[in-house]
Structure 1
Protein backbone atom coordinates (compact mmCIF):
# COMPACT_ATOMS: atom_id res chain seq x y z
CA UNK A 1 0.00 0.00 0.00
CA UNK A 2 1.59 3.28 -1.07
CA UNK A 3 1.05 6.39 1.02
CA UNK A 4 0.69 9.56 -1.08
CA UNK A 5 0.53 11.86 1.98
CA UNK A 6 3.60 13.86 2.90
CA UNK A 7 5.86 11.82 5.13
CA UNK A 8 7.66 13.12 8.19
CA UNK A 9 11.16 11.70 8.19
CA UNK A 10 13.78 12.41 10.83
CA UNK A 11 17.29 11.09 11.22
CA UNK A 12 18.76 9.98 14.54
CA UNK A 13 22.55 10.08 14.35
CA UNK A 14 24.22 7.80 16.90
CA UNK A 15 27.81 7.54 18.02
CA UNK A 16 29.04 10.84 16.59
CA UNK A 17 32.59 11.55 17.77
CA UNK A 18 33.18 15.30 17.36
CA UNK A 19 36.82 15.18 16.30
CA UNK A 20 36.56 12.12 14.09
CA UNK A 21 33.06 12.26 12.57
CA UNK A 22 32.32 15.97 12.02
CA UNK A 23 32.52 15.79 8.23
CA UNK A 24 30.53 12.57 7.81
CA UNK A 25 27.85 13.68 10.31
CA UNK A 26 27.52 16.99 8.48
CA UNK A 27 27.06 15.02 5.26
CA UNK A 28 24.40 12.81 6.91
CA UNK A 29 22.47 15.98 7.80
CA UNK A 30 22.94 17.65 4.42
CA UNK A 31 21.88 14.47 2.60
CA UNK A 32 18.81 14.08 4.81
CA UNK A 33 17.85 17.72 4.19
CA UNK A 34 18.39 17.56 0.44
CA UNK A 35 16.28 14.41 0.13
CA UNK A 36 13.34 15.70 2.15
CA UNK A 37 13.85 14.87 5.84
CA UNK A 38 12.39 17.28 8.39
CA UNK A 39 15.46 17.21 10.60
CA UNK A 40 18.27 15.39 12.35
CA UNK A 41 18.64 14.48 16.01
CA UNK A 42 22.24 14.24 17.14
CA UNK A 43 22.81 11.88 20.09
CA UNK A 44 26.04 13.68 20.93
CA UNK A 45 27.09 17.20 21.83
CA UNK A 46 28.50 19.06 18.85
CA UNK A 47 27.04 22.56 18.40
CA UNK A 48 29.30 23.15 15.38
CA UNK A 49 27.41 20.45 13.40
CA UNK A 50 24.14 22.18 14.26
CA UNK A 51 25.54 25.57 13.23
CA UNK A 52 27.00 24.31 9.94
CA UNK A 53 23.83 22.58 8.79
CA UNK A 54 21.46 25.34 9.91
CA UNK A 55 23.42 27.86 7.82
CA UNK A 56 22.31 25.97 4.71
CA UNK A 57 18.51 26.40 4.89
CA UNK A 58 18.34 30.20 4.52
CA UNK A 59 20.70 30.12 1.55
CA UNK A 60 19.34 27.04 -0.20
CA UNK A 61 15.72 27.15 1.02
CA UNK A 62 13.39 24.85 2.83
CA UNK A 63 13.32 24.12 6.52
CA UNK A 64 15.33 21.62 8.55
CA UNK A 65 15.81 21.25 12.28
CA UNK A 66 18.74 19.97 14.29
CA UNK A 67 18.46 18.77 17.87
CA UNK A 68 21.87 18.59 19.51
CA UNK A 69 22.97 16.44 22.47
CA UNK A 70 19.79 14.34 22.60
CA UNK A 71 19.28 11.12 24.53
CA UNK A 72 18.81 8.48 21.82
CA UNK A 73 16.53 6.13 23.75
CA UNK A 74 14.31 8.99 24.94
CA UNK A 75 14.01 10.29 21.37
CA UNK A 76 13.11 6.84 20.04
CA UNK A 77 10.52 6.27 22.77
CA UNK A 78 8.94 9.72 22.26
CA UNK A 79 8.84 9.14 18.48
CA UNK A 80 7.08 5.79 18.96
CA UNK A 81 4.60 7.29 21.46
CA UNK A 82 3.61 9.79 18.75
CA UNK A 83 2.89 6.94 16.32
CA UNK A 84 6.22 6.98 14.52
CA UNK A 85 8.16 3.95 13.33
CA UNK A 86 11.90 3.40 13.57
CA UNK A 87 14.17 1.99 10.88
CA UNK A 88 17.77 1.30 11.85
CA UNK A 89 20.02 1.25 8.78
CA UNK A 90 22.53 -1.52 9.35
CA UNK A 91 24.40 -3.97 7.12
CA UNK A 92 22.95 -6.76 9.28
CA UNK A 93 19.27 -6.07 8.63
CA UNK A 94 16.82 -7.33 6.05
CA UNK A 95 17.63 -6.09 2.58
CA UNK A 96 16.15 -2.76 1.56
CA UNK A 97 14.13 -4.06 -1.43
CA UNK A 98 12.24 -6.32 0.98
CA UNK A 99 11.54 -3.41 3.36
CA UNK A 100 10.59 -0.72 0.81
CA UNK A 101 6.84 -1.50 0.59
CA UNK A 102 6.29 -1.21 4.34
CA UNK A 103 8.62 1.80 4.74
CA UNK A 104 6.79 3.63 1.94
CA UNK A 105 3.50 3.19 3.78
CA UNK A 106 4.70 4.92 6.96
CA UNK A 107 3.77 8.56 7.64
CA UNK A 108 6.27 9.12 10.47
CA UNK A 109 9.62 7.45 10.01
CA UNK A 110 12.85 7.78 11.96
CA UNK A 111 16.02 6.49 10.31
CA UNK A 112 18.80 5.64 12.71
CA UNK A 113 22.35 5.84 11.36
CA UNK A 114 25.32 4.99 13.52
CA UNK A 115 28.96 5.98 13.53
CA UNK A 116 30.76 3.83 16.06
CA UNK A 117 29.46 0.43 17.19
CA UNK A 118 25.69 0.65 17.66
CA UNK A 119 24.40 -0.65 21.03
CA UNK A 120 22.42 -3.90 20.87
CA UNK A 121 19.32 -2.24 22.33
CA UNK A 122 18.96 -0.23 19.11
CA UNK A 123 18.59 -3.46 17.12
CA UNK A 124 15.82 -4.52 19.51
CA UNK A 125 13.85 -1.27 19.84
CA UNK A 126 13.85 -0.55 16.09
CA UNK A 127 10.79 -1.66 14.16
CA UNK A 128 13.11 -2.75 11.37
CA UNK A 129 16.83 -3.25 10.91
CA UNK A 130 17.36 -2.65 7.21
CA UNK A 131 20.49 -3.27 5.15
CA UNK A 132 21.39 -1.26 2.08
CA UNK A 133 23.53 -4.16 0.94
CA UNK A 134 25.29 -6.54 3.32
CA UNK A 135 28.72 -5.01 2.85
CA UNK A 136 30.39 -2.24 4.82
CA UNK A 137 30.01 1.21 3.26
CA UNK A 138 29.06 4.76 4.17
CA UNK A 139 26.07 5.66 6.31
CA UNK A 140 25.59 8.64 4.00
CA UNK A 141 25.18 6.28 1.04
CA UNK A 142 22.82 4.03 2.98
CA UNK A 143 20.64 6.96 4.01
CA UNK A 144 20.56 8.45 0.51
CA UNK A 145 19.60 5.17 -1.13
CA UNK A 146 16.95 4.37 1.49
CA UNK A 147 15.37 7.83 1.27
CA UNK A 148 15.37 7.70 -2.53
CA UNK A 149 13.73 4.27 -2.61
CA UNK A 150 10.89 5.16 -0.24
CA UNK A 151 10.08 8.52 -1.80
CA UNK A 152 6.74 8.88 -3.58
CA UNK A 153 8.36 11.30 -6.03
CA UNK A 154 11.89 11.86 -7.25
CA UNK A 155 13.67 13.56 -4.32
CA UNK A 156 16.37 14.79 -6.69
CA UNK A 157 13.78 17.03 -8.36
CA UNK A 158 12.58 18.55 -5.07
CA UNK A 159 12.37 22.33 -5.02
CA UNK A 160 13.01 24.33 -1.86
CA UNK A 161 10.87 27.33 -0.92
CA UNK A 162 12.47 30.64 0.04
CA UNK A 163 15.87 29.81 -1.43
CA UNK A 164 18.37 32.66 -1.68
CA UNK A 165 20.34 30.53 -4.15
CA UNK A 166 18.99 28.26 -6.88
CA UNK A 167 21.08 26.13 -9.21
CA UNK A 168 19.95 26.15 -12.83
CA UNK A 169 20.75 22.68 -14.23
CA UNK A 170 23.00 22.84 -17.28
CA UNK A 171 24.71 20.25 -19.44
CA UNK A 172 27.90 22.33 -19.39
CA UNK A 173 29.00 25.13 -17.11
CA UNK A 174 27.29 26.22 -13.94
CA UNK A 175 24.68 28.80 -13.12
CA UNK A 176 23.37 29.91 -9.75
CA UNK A 177 20.54 32.44 -9.47
CA UNK A 178 20.69 34.78 -6.46
CA UNK A 179 17.39 36.08 -5.02
CA UNK A 180 18.74 39.44 -3.85
CA UNK A 181 15.44 40.52 -2.28
CA UNK A 182 15.31 37.40 -0.14
CA UNK A 183 19.00 37.73 0.76
CA UNK A 184 18.39 41.28 2.03
CA UNK A 185 15.24 40.25 3.90
CA UNK A 186 17.11 37.42 5.64
CA UNK A 187 19.97 39.78 6.56
CA UNK A 188 17.47 42.17 8.16
CA UNK A 189 15.89 39.31 10.13
CA UNK A 190 19.31 38.11 11.32
CA UNK A 191 20.01 41.57 12.76
CA UNK A 192 16.78 41.56 14.79
Structure 2
Protein backbone atom coordinates (compact mmCIF):
# COMPACT_ATOMS: atom_id res chain seq x y z
CA UNK A 1 0.00 0.00 0.00
CA UNK A 2 1.27 3.47 -0.85
CA UNK A 3 3.88 5.13 1.35
CA UNK A 4 4.95 1.85 2.95
CA UNK A 5 7.57 -0.74 1.93
CA UNK A 6 6.57 -2.63 -1.20
CA UNK A 7 4.58 -5.83 -1.11
CA UNK A 8 5.02 -7.85 -4.29
CA UNK A 9 3.68 -11.25 -5.29
CA UNK A 10 5.75 -13.73 -7.31
CA UNK A 11 3.84 -16.48 -9.11
CA UNK A 12 6.20 -19.42 -9.73
CA UNK A 13 5.49 -21.30 -12.92
CA UNK A 14 2.71 -21.08 -15.45
CA UNK A 15 1.41 -23.94 -17.54
CA UNK A 16 -0.23 -22.51 -20.69
CA UNK A 17 -3.73 -23.83 -21.22
CA UNK A 18 -3.92 -25.16 -17.69
CA UNK A 19 -3.03 -22.22 -15.44
CA UNK A 20 -4.45 -19.21 -17.34
CA UNK A 21 -7.37 -18.62 -14.99
CA UNK A 22 -5.44 -19.38 -11.79
CA UNK A 23 -2.51 -17.15 -12.74
CA UNK A 24 -4.94 -14.35 -13.60
CA UNK A 25 -6.65 -14.81 -10.24
CA UNK A 26 -3.30 -14.61 -8.43
CA UNK A 27 -2.72 -11.23 -10.09
CA UNK A 28 -6.24 -9.97 -9.43
CA UNK A 29 -6.13 -11.09 -5.79
CA UNK A 30 -2.75 -9.44 -5.28
CA UNK A 31 -4.17 -6.19 -6.70
CA UNK A 32 -7.48 -6.27 -4.85
CA UNK A 33 -5.99 -7.15 -1.46
CA UNK A 34 -3.21 -4.59 -1.20
CA UNK A 35 -0.05 -5.75 -2.99
CA UNK A 36 1.79 -3.17 -5.08
CA UNK A 37 2.66 -5.49 -7.95
CA UNK A 38 2.61 -9.04 -9.25
CA UNK A 39 5.42 -10.78 -11.07
CA UNK A 40 4.16 -13.68 -13.17
CA UNK A 41 6.49 -16.39 -14.47
CA UNK A 42 6.50 -17.92 -17.91
CA UNK A 43 4.14 -17.33 -20.79
CA UNK A 44 1.41 -15.61 -18.79
CA UNK A 45 0.94 -12.67 -21.16
CA UNK A 46 -2.87 -13.18 -21.29
CA UNK A 47 -2.99 -12.95 -17.50
CA UNK A 48 -0.90 -9.76 -17.57
CA UNK A 49 -3.28 -8.24 -20.14
CA UNK A 50 -6.33 -9.09 -18.03
CA UNK A 51 -4.84 -7.66 -14.81
CA UNK A 52 -3.73 -4.50 -16.63
CA UNK A 53 -7.23 -4.09 -18.11
CA UNK A 54 -8.84 -4.43 -14.67
CA UNK A 55 -6.35 -1.92 -13.21
CA UNK A 56 -7.10 0.53 -16.04
CA UNK A 57 -10.85 0.26 -15.43
CA UNK A 58 -11.06 -0.12 -11.65
CA UNK A 59 -8.01 1.88 -10.55
CA UNK A 60 -4.61 1.49 -9.08
CA UNK A 61 -1.82 1.92 -8.56
CA UNK A 62 -0.83 -1.65 -9.34
CA UNK A 63 1.81 -3.08 -11.66
CA UNK A 64 2.01 -6.52 -13.23
CA UNK A 65 4.96 -7.91 -15.15
CA UNK A 66 6.33 -11.09 -16.68
CA UNK A 67 9.59 -12.80 -15.83
CA UNK A 68 11.41 -15.62 -17.55
CA UNK A 69 13.48 -16.14 -14.43
CA UNK A 70 11.43 -16.33 -11.22
CA UNK A 71 14.39 -17.87 -9.37
CA UNK A 72 16.46 -14.79 -10.25
CA UNK A 73 13.70 -12.53 -8.89
CA UNK A 74 13.76 -14.58 -5.70
CA UNK A 75 17.57 -14.48 -5.43
CA UNK A 76 17.80 -10.74 -6.10
CA UNK A 77 14.88 -9.63 -3.91
CA UNK A 78 16.04 -6.85 -1.57
CA UNK A 79 13.75 -7.59 1.34
CA UNK A 80 12.03 -10.46 3.09
CA UNK A 81 10.48 -13.50 1.38
CA UNK A 82 7.26 -15.20 2.47
CA UNK A 83 6.61 -18.50 0.71
CA UNK A 84 2.94 -19.45 0.96
CA UNK A 85 2.58 -23.21 1.32
CA UNK A 86 0.37 -25.58 3.26
CA UNK A 87 3.55 -27.08 4.77
CA UNK A 88 4.72 -23.92 6.53
CA UNK A 89 4.36 -22.32 9.91
CA UNK A 90 0.85 -21.24 10.83
CA UNK A 91 0.10 -17.73 9.57
CA UNK A 92 -1.37 -16.78 12.94
CA UNK A 93 1.96 -17.65 14.59
CA UNK A 94 4.18 -15.52 12.32
CA UNK A 95 1.99 -12.70 10.97
CA UNK A 96 3.08 -10.28 13.71
CA UNK A 97 6.75 -10.93 13.01
CA UNK A 98 6.19 -10.40 9.26
CA UNK A 99 4.29 -7.13 9.88
CA UNK A 100 7.05 -5.98 12.22
CA UNK A 101 9.67 -6.67 9.55
CA UNK A 102 7.69 -4.57 7.08
CA UNK A 103 7.23 -1.81 9.67
CA UNK A 104 11.04 -1.80 9.98
CA UNK A 105 11.23 -0.92 6.26
CA UNK A 106 11.64 -4.36 4.72
CA UNK A 107 9.81 -4.95 1.42
CA UNK A 108 7.89 -8.25 1.30
CA UNK A 109 7.83 -10.75 -1.56
CA UNK A 110 5.00 -13.25 -1.24
CA UNK A 111 5.75 -16.34 -3.32
CA UNK A 112 3.03 -18.69 -4.58
CA UNK A 113 3.52 -21.82 -6.66
CA UNK A 114 1.64 -23.35 -9.55
CA UNK A 115 2.87 -26.90 -9.39
CA UNK A 116 5.24 -28.74 -7.06
CA UNK A 117 7.63 -26.18 -5.60
CA UNK A 118 11.27 -27.20 -5.38
CA UNK A 119 13.07 -27.23 -2.05
CA UNK A 120 15.31 -24.27 -2.97
CA UNK A 121 12.24 -21.99 -2.67
CA UNK A 122 11.65 -23.23 0.89
CA UNK A 123 15.32 -22.54 1.67
CA UNK A 124 15.28 -19.05 0.09
CA UNK A 125 12.24 -17.97 2.13
CA UNK A 126 12.52 -16.08 5.39
CA UNK A 127 9.17 -17.64 6.28
CA UNK A 128 7.35 -20.65 4.85
CA UNK A 129 3.77 -19.87 5.81
CA UNK A 130 0.65 -22.00 5.73
CA UNK A 131 -2.79 -20.47 6.03
CA UNK A 132 -4.11 -23.96 6.71
CA UNK A 133 -2.56 -27.40 6.71
CA UNK A 134 -5.28 -28.69 4.39
CA UNK A 135 -5.16 -28.73 0.58
CA UNK A 136 -6.21 -25.35 -0.84
CA UNK A 137 -5.43 -23.09 -3.79
CA UNK A 138 -2.61 -20.59 -4.01
CA UNK A 139 -5.25 -17.88 -4.52
CA UNK A 140 -6.86 -18.72 -1.17
CA UNK A 141 -3.48 -18.74 0.55
CA UNK A 142 -2.55 -15.38 -0.95
CA UNK A 143 -5.88 -13.81 0.00
CA UNK A 144 -5.71 -14.93 3.62
CA UNK A 145 -2.06 -13.89 3.92
CA UNK A 146 -2.59 -10.39 2.48
CA UNK A 147 -5.62 -9.81 4.67
CA UNK A 148 -3.61 -10.84 7.75
CA UNK A 149 -0.63 -8.72 6.67
CA UNK A 150 -2.72 -5.57 6.19
CA UNK A 151 -5.11 -6.35 9.07
CA UNK A 152 -8.13 -5.59 6.90
CA UNK A 153 -7.01 -2.05 5.94
CA UNK A 154 -6.82 -3.11 2.28
CA UNK A 155 -10.60 -3.49 2.26
CA UNK A 156 -11.02 0.29 2.72
CA UNK A 157 -8.51 1.27 0.04
CA UNK A 158 -9.23 4.19 -2.29
CA UNK A 159 -8.47 3.45 -5.95
CA UNK A 160 -6.82 6.12 -8.12
CA UNK A 161 -7.65 6.64 -11.79
CA UNK A 162 -10.65 4.32 -11.86
CA UNK A 163 -13.13 4.72 -14.70
CA UNK A 164 -15.54 2.19 -13.15
CA UNK A 165 -16.55 1.08 -9.69
CA UNK A 166 -18.73 -1.65 -8.24
CA UNK A 167 -21.70 -0.63 -6.12
CA UNK A 168 -21.93 -2.92 -3.08
CA UNK A 169 -25.45 -4.33 -2.75
CA UNK A 170 -27.20 -7.35 -1.33
CA UNK A 171 -28.19 -8.72 -4.74
CA UNK A 172 -27.35 -7.75 -8.29
CA UNK A 173 -24.23 -6.67 -10.11
CA UNK A 174 -24.00 -2.93 -10.54
CA UNK A 175 -20.95 -1.32 -12.12
CA UNK A 176 -21.07 2.43 -12.77
CA UNK A 177 -18.69 5.09 -14.06
CA UNK A 178 -16.37 6.06 -11.21
CA UNK A 179 -17.63 9.66 -11.09
CA UNK A 180 -21.25 8.59 -10.34
CA UNK A 181 -22.56 8.19 -6.81
Query: Shift of residue 141 of structure 1?
Result: 0.5
Query: Shift of residue 172 of structure 1?
Result: 4.2
1:19-60 per-position Cα deviation (integer Å, ceiling 9, x unaligned):
111001100100000011111111212211111111111100
Q: Which runs of 5+ in 2 are unaligned?
A: none
d(CA) in 2 for partners of 1:179, 1:48? 26
Q: Who is 2:81 aligned against?
A: 86
Q: Who is 1:125 aligned against?
A: 124
SS of aligned partner of 1:55: helix
Which protein has the larger Cα radius of gyration, Structure 1 or Structure 2? 1
Q: Which runs of 5+ in 1 are unaligned?
A: 181-192
d(CA) in 1 for partners of 2:134, 2:150? 23
Q: Who is 1:115 aligned against?
A: 114
Query: Shift of residue 78 of structure 1?
Result: 1.8
Q: Who is 1:101 aligned against?
A: 96
Q: CA contact under 8 A between 1:41 and 1:70: conserved in structure 2? A: no
Q: Who is 1:12 aligned against?
A: 10
Q: Who is 2:55 aligned against?
A: 57
d(CA) in 2 for partners of 1:30, 1:45? 17
Question: Under a length normalisation based on structure 1, what TM-score does the superposition of the two structures give?
Answer: 0.84
Structure 1 moving runs of 4+ over 4 Å: none
Q: CA contact under 8 A between 2:23 and 2:44: conserved in structure 1? A: no
Q: Who is 1:185 aligned against?
A: none
Q: How many residues align?
A: 174
d(CA) in 1 for partners of 2:127, 2:112? 13
Q: RMSD between aligned alpha carbons? A: 1.8
Query: Shift of residue 169 of structure 1?
Result: 2.0
1:25 lines up with 2:20 in the alignment: no
SS of aligned partner of 1:16: coil
Q: Who is 2:176 aligned against?
A: 177
1:92-135 per-position Cα deviation (integer Å, ceiling 9, x unaligned):
11000011001112141000000110011000011110011111
d(CA) in 2 for partners of 1:59, 1:23? 19
Deviates further, 100-109 or 124-133: 100-109
Question: Under a length normalisation based on structure 2, what TM-score does the superposition of the two structures give?
Answer: 0.89
d(CA) in 1 for partners of 2:124, 2:23? 23
SS of aligned partner of 2:67: coil
SS of aligned partner of 2:120: helix
Q: Who is 1:161 aligned against?
A: 160
